[in-house]
Amino acid sequence: MGLNQEIAKRRTFGIVSHPDAGKTTLTEKLLLFGGAIHVAGAVKSNKIKKTATSDFMEIERQRGISVATSVMGFEYRETKINILDTPGHQDFAEDTFRVLTACDSVIIVIDAAKGVETQTRKLMQVCRLRGTPIIVFVNKLDRPADHPFDILDDIEKELQIHVTPLSWPAGSGELFRGIYNIREQNLCIYSPSIQTIPQGIEINDILSPELDEHVGERAAKQLREDLGVAREVYPAFDRDRYLAGDLAPVFFGSALNNFGIREMLDCFIQIAPSPLPRQTEERLVRPEEESFSGFVFKIHANMDPNHRDRVAFVKVCSGTFARNTPYLHVRLRKTLKFASPTAFMAAKKSIIDEAYPGDIVGLHDTGNFKIGDALTAGEQLHFKGIPSFSPELFKYIENADPMKAKQLAKGIDQLMDEGVAQLFVNRFNNRKIIGTVGALQFEVIEYRLLHEYGASCRWENVNLYKACWVEAADASVLDDFKLHKAQYMAADKHGRDVFLAESEYMLRMARDNYPKLNFHFTSEF
């Protein structure tokens, strides 16, 4: 099969949502449909023995939430699907934001009873900035839910995007009878089953008495009325508008019960974009180019605790990645060869010989990579749009066991490379400060340092309002600022100057007094 055919058959997308909307459960069921797993797990608590495939970290299994992005690939109807299941919790939003840079499209999961929630709105803003195509899956129809029209109005209002329903529920909660596939014009009768895949019943004529037989007269009447209004109110599906990020097709279902997922998946492989061109600082990189290029969007240490391995996740952007072939590490300006590149099923890995645009490749890393690094066949390329954001919470990190200083230093170094949080070393007193976007990240760092590196730490509060990167065209201006603000200056992991402001007033005064100094709130400048 040629490169163009390989590109055409690939779909790489992320699944995002507010916590508890059912995102990881949906991921499990997609894997079940693709035959990648045979028993789907549930994301509940440590009381349930079978946990989700995509929640492979011990802390995820204990808490029943996703704290790291999982990468999974499977084949479905001659289409290679790559799923990136992201953390829903807002404390891990930065990981999600970065992962969205590796996605060609996104599925947003919404709880049918709760509607659009805070984290969903934030994630939608990131998608809108990038013009990412969106599909919405309204989940938990097996529970009491809002009316579909109210849900669709909420989506349009809160996410500021036009919608068109491509499936429609017959009832909800105890009165949930099934899903009508508007696109294929068939009905799937609801039968709660976590393990089996339901089959659709062909009803091409919505007025057919057969509909009444399957869902009951009352539900059939309501379904006919709703579909009649929906056809009048919502636009017909337009793929060009969807690809432009202007129109979101909406599907209804119950991920826990495998219901409504086939309708979405069958439509997804038809309408979702194959790998898209990527912008670099130098030029636009197209997937069909013969020359290989890719970038690191995630680093994860200790995926296998037995081997203390560290894996860099690379999104292939163009050409063909081949095993044991030398590639240029652009930032380090050195050539690297990879003997055992891997493809993923969450924590399970398999060695591959080739990968194509859209694929996610895991590369064993001994410390060469950081997030945003480019790998190419020789060309100097720098991929854009993979920033770190200014943290909102700060704590000093101290060694709780003097005998484990090396383990702690190694653990902090590797976890910061993952983008779990950010490290700032105060240049005045040399103390290490960890900055995060959420309080839960401190717990995750402490847990992983102890269980993965054997290092115990303790936290000490530090009163900071903001950390921002500073630079100036005139070096003397920056030197003067660093002299006068010496006790508030720090260096990030890459040695860049960071100003640690204790208050909003302090930051405003610094900006007023040094107009020639640039203050940045993302690391990409």
Q: Range of 414's domain?
A: 393-520
- Indicate whether 134 and 225 sit together in one domain: yes
Confidence (pLDDT) at 439: 81
- Indicate whether 230 and 291 sit together in one domain: no
Confidence (pLDDT) at 301: 67
Q: How far is CA 151 from CA 147, 169, 362, 434, in A?
A: 6, 12, 39, 40
In a domain, 490, yes or no: yes
- Indicate whether 318 and 417 sit together in one domain: no
Confidence (pLDDT) at 485: 94
Q: Residue written as tokens 């040094």? A: 514
Phi-psi group of 55: left, alpha or beta (phi > 0 → left; psi -120 to 50 → alpha; rest → beta): beta
How far is residue 488's CA from residue 511's CA, in Å, rounded to a whole number?
14
How far is residue 396's CA from residue 162's CA, in Å, rounded to a whole number?
46
Question: Angle, to 10 degrees, between the axis of helix 217-233 and the axis of helix 148-159?
Answer: 30
Contact 227/168 with Cβ under 8 angstroms?
A: yes
Element spanning 251, H or E: strand 247-252
What are residue 334's DSSP bridge partners?
329
Which regions of 337-478 does DSSP assign to beta strands (E)? 342-345, 348-351, 354-355, 360-364, 374-376, 393-399, 422-426, 432-436, 457-461, 466-472
Confidence (pLDDT) at 440: 80
Cβ neighbors of 493 (< 8 A, separation 6 or more) are 416, 417, 422, 423
How far is residue 460's CA from residue 296's CA, in Å, rounded to a whole number?
33
Residues in the chain: 525
Confidence (pLDDT) at 35: 66
**Of the candidates 271, 291, 321, which is a domain's last residue?**
271
331, amino acid identity: R
Q: Which two tokens stand for residue 65?
A: 């939430």
Number of structural domains in the chain: 3
- Indicate whether 113 and 37 sit together in one domain: yes
In a domain, 288, yes or no: yes
Buried (b) or exposed (e) across 394-433, using 16+ Cβ within 10 A?
A: bbbbebeeeebeebbebbbebbbbbbbbbbbebbeeeebb
Contact 10/268 with Cβ under 8 angstroms?
A: no
Confidence (pLDDT) at 60: 47
Confidence (pLDDT) at 68: 45
In a domain, 382, yes or no: no
Concatenating the DSSP letter of every residue in 16-49 gives EESTTSSHHHHHHHHHHHTTS-SS----S-TTSS
In a domain, 81, yes or no: no
- Indicate whether 133 and 209 sit together in one domain: yes
pLDDT in tens, the chain (525 residues): 689 999 999 999 998 887 788 877 888 888 887 665 433 333 333 333 344 544 445 544 554 444 345 678 888 889 999 988 776 445 455 667 777 888 999 999 999 999 988 778 878 887 887 889 999 999 999 899 999 999 999 999 999 999 999 999 988 888 888 888 998 888 888 776 555 555 656 666 777 787 888 788 888 899 899 999 999 999 999 999 999 999 999 999 998 888 888 889 999 999 999 999 999 999 999 999 999 999 998 887 665 555 556 788 899 999 999 999 999 999 999 999 999 998 876 446 688 999 999 999 989 888 788 888 999 999 999 988 666 777 888 999 999 999 999 999 999 988 887 777 899 999 999 999 999 877 888 988 998 899 888 999 999 999 999 999 999 999 999 999 999 999 999 999 889 999 999 999 999 999 999 999 999 987 765
- Indicate whether 407 and 468 sit together in one domain: yes
In a domain, 6, yes or no: no
Q: Is 335 exposed, middle or buried (0-12, 13-18, 19+ CB in 10 A)?
A: exposed
- Indicate whether 17 and 119 sit together in one domain: yes
Q: Residue written as tokens 């720098």? A: 382
In a domain, 3, yes or no: no
Contact 109/21 with Cβ under 8 angstroms?
A: yes
**Of the candidates 228, 254, 271, which is a domain's last residue?**
271
Q: Residue written as tokens 């109005």? A: 153
- Indicate whether 113 and 241 sit together in one domain: yes
Element spanning 409, H or E: helix 405-418
- Indicate whether 368 and 475 sit together in one domain: no
In a domain, 371, yes or no: yes
- Indicate whether 196 and 290 sit together in one domain: no
**Of the candidates 309, 341, 376, which is a domain's last residue?**
376
279, amino acid identity: Q
- Indicate whether 439 and 410 sit together in one domain: yes
In a domain, 75, yes or no: no
Q: φ, ψ for residue 509 (rounded to 5)?
A: -65, -40
* 3-state SS track over 98-122: HHHHHCCEEEEEEECCCECCHHHHH
- Indicate whether 359 and 403 sit together in one domain: no
CATH number at residue 337: 3.40.50.300
